Amino acid sequence: MKTVSIFVALAFVLFSCELTNYVPPVTPQMATARSGQQVDLVMLREGRTLFVHRCIECHTLPVLWRYSTDDWPNIVDSMSHRASLKPADREAI
């Protein structure tokens, strides 16, 4: 019984760690995905890092595909003041 409990606890921990990893890693294809916008990989990586580390300070990370691309600027703007984000950080996210 003790072995089963340890196994279940370990499986839960591993599964929980994986849940925070649903923010996809930045790829070169992401930089070219939006036409008309100048986005470089460095800014995308910085934005991902800020999103993962700063947004989780107040709440769980939202599921990215739940909102449209047009929704995100308003979402970030509305929360940036509470997160004390600098304008450059807000733009990166």
Tell me, what's the pLDDT at 17? 52
Question: Percent of the chain beyond pLDDT 70?
Answer: 75
pTM equals 0.63
Q: What is the 3-state secondary structure (H, E, C) of the chain?
A: CHHHHHHHHHHHHHHHHHHCCCCCCCCHHHHHHCCCCCCCHHHHHHHHHHHHHHHHHCCCCCCHHHCCCCCHHHHHHHHHCCCCCCHHHHHHC
In contact, 85 and 47? CB cutoff 8 Å: no
Tell me, what's the pLDDT at 12? 62
**Domain regions of the chain by residue span:** 23-92
Q: What is the mean pLDDT of the chain?
A: 79
Q: Locate tokens 């995905």: which residue?
A: 33
